[in-house]
Amino acid sequence: MSSALFLPEENNLDLDWQSLHKAYEYASPYKKIGKIHASKGALYEINLSRAVVGATVEFVTEFGSRTEGEVVAISGNRCLAMPYEEISGINSETRIYLKNLSTEINICDEMLGRVIDFQGNPIDGKGPISGKMEKRSIFGHPINPISRPPIKEPLDTGIAAINCFMTAGKGQRMSILSGSGVGKSVLLGMIAQNTNADVNVIALIGERGREVLEFIQNDLGPEGIKRSVVVVATSDTAPLIRMRAAFVATTIAEYFRDQKKDIVLMMDSITRFAMAHREITLAAGEPPGQKGYTPSVFSKLPKLLERAGTKSGVGSITGIYTVLVEGGDMDEPISDAIRAIADGHIVLSRELASRNHFPAIDVLASLSRVMTKVVTNEHRIVASHLKDLLAAYKESEDLINVGAYARGSNPRVDKALVIYHDIMAMLRQEVGLYKKKNIDELYDIMVELARKAENTINMNNLSRSK
């Protein structure tokens, strides 16, 4: 058969051979081969045409070793790429193949109940994930401000301290600030088990490998994992993997949100995400700033966090991000930046943890900026009154502990003494030993405590609005 039969007629199609050649080049990524020009720490400077930032490349040594990596920066005709894992034998003869120009992952409903890596591949030993896959770019865009409905509906986290004094709303972004070993991961597990959200997406960024299985089995539990997707990038992985895992988790949360579901996205920790970005950008030559963090770290954080929230016509993503506070300094750069971006913060106290009070939430130092919009006025008034009594007790705690406080010298402290231990008992929740109380039940307890303290405001007007 003549090959001419397969050629278009000259008058029917005006062929743009230059465009076709360009399309062929992009459609055949393995045709593009580069070589290493120089190494800069964990980065490699490569002569590779057609590369774009975020493109996937493959390193192939002359000894046959292979590993994937990613283009992180471009300078002229050269680009900087970082492998996802260590590979031996890299030298000037190592060939670099441009493998994939997209930054997409496959997502499906069957990811629920699974533990995956930064590429969406299962790592829980339960076999491959099968289902109707949808491709999504991991670098999605923040929600249009005009498409963000106001936050009006409370999110029941199952945590008494949060529900009572810093009530969260669906679509809110909250940070959990604390030092190491104060119970951040345990608190996330409790929220995942008890929240009334439809789906949990949990990103474990830079965690110790030993803690991952412990978190899934002990903190999350069999009931929590059923409606959760866990994305894991441990501390021994490359900084690129830790960064990508955060974006992958956010993309998965967006997928389920677009099904008109309410999602809780939990990331432990956003600090290690920032550290990974700092490591990459410093290697790429970006100048350091505060605490060694490069300027682009502080522009990358809002691009990630602003993707959470409410969106018209679909569901919501409530973002909860843990912040590892260096040296207990709540004003260190990452903590300060996250507080400015988020809609509230929860501070964990080492002092409370040392007293075996868990979750170790410092009620007086914590804040929800949307609480007044998602609770009734009665709830707000009672919570404010009880916080005032807690503050009064805190001011005189040293005198009380040594027995030097004289009753009657301060009416606020006198009232606080009556109910302080009752409040702390209400807020204390031992893992596996407490009975979950919803926001309405906790409100009733708060009213009783306020009455017990003989509050001067008219408590008879505080019956909850239905």
Q: State pLDDT tens for residues 298-328.
A: 999 999 999 999 999 999 999 999 999 877 7
Q: What is the mean pLDDT of the chain?
A: 87
Residues 204 and 258 in one domain: yes
**CATH code of the domain covering residue 82:** 2.40.10.170
Among 327, 357, 372, the domain boundary falls at 372
pLDDT band at 8 (very low <50, low <70, confident <90, very high): very low
C-alpha 110/C-alpha 282 separation (Å) is 38
Range of the domain at 78: 23-100
Which distant-in-sequence residues (6+ apart) come within 8 Å of 55 by Cβ? 70, 71, 98, 99, 100, 101, 103
Are 143 and 306 within 8 A, CB to CB?
yes
Q: 17-50, pLDDT tens digit by residue? A: 556 554 544 444 455 688 888 887 788 988 887 7
Q: Coil, helix or strand for 458? A: coil
Residues 345 and 414 in one domain: no
Q: 287-300, pLDDT tens digit by residue? A: 998 889 999 999 99
Asked if residue 347 is part of any domain, the answer here is yes
Residues 147 and 86 in one domain: no
Residues 354 and 302 in one domain: yes
Asked if residue 7 is part of any domain, the answer here is no
**CATH code of the domain covering residue 242:** 3.40.50.12240
The count of domains in the chain is 3
Locate the DSSP E strands across 53-167. Answer: 56-60, 66-75, 78-83, 95-100, 104-107, 115-116, 134-137, 154-155
Asked if residue 48 is part of any domain, the answer here is yes
Residues 198 and 263 in one domain: yes
Q: 135-156, pLDDT tens digit by residue? A: 999 988 888 899 899 999 999 9
Task: Please determine, for residue 274, whether its predicted confidence score (pLDDT) is greater than 60.
Answer: yes
Asked if residue 4 is part of any domain, the answer here is no
Residues 92 and 109 in one domain: no
Q: Which residues pair with 40 in a beta bridge?
A: 43
pLDDT band at 7 (very low <50, low <70, confident <90, very high): very low
Among 323, 352, 372, the domain boundary falls at 372
Q: 177-213, pLDDT tens digit by residue? A: 998 888 888 899 889 888 989 999 999 999 888 889 9
Asked if residue 57 is part of any domain, the answer here is yes
Reading the block at residue 282, the tokens are: 């410093």
Most trustworthy range by pLDDT among 50-54, 76-80, 161-165: 161-165
Residues 226 and 328 in one domain: yes
**CATH code of the domain covering residue 447:** 1.20.1270
Torsion of CA 261, 267, 270, 272, to 10 degrees: -150
C-alpha 338/C-alpha 352 separation (Å) is 23
Residues 49 and 135 in one domain: no
Residue 432 vs residue 241, higher pLDDT: 241
Residues 108 and 241 in one domain: yes
Burial string for 54-68 (b: 16+ CB within 10 Å, else e) reads bbbbbbbbeeeeebb
Which distant-in-sequence residues (6+ apart) come within 8 Å of 47 by Cβ? 34, 35, 37, 77, 78
Residues 194 and 153 in one domain: yes
CA 199 to centroid of chain Cα atoms: 14
Residues 62 and 163 in one domain: no
Residues 247 and 281 in one domain: yes
Asked if residue 327 is part of any domain, the answer here is yes
Radius of gyration of the chain, Cα coordinates, nearest whole angstrom: 27
What pLDDT does 32 receive? Answer: 65
Among 324, 342, 372, the domain boundary falls at 372
Asked if residue 8 is part of any domain, the answer here is no
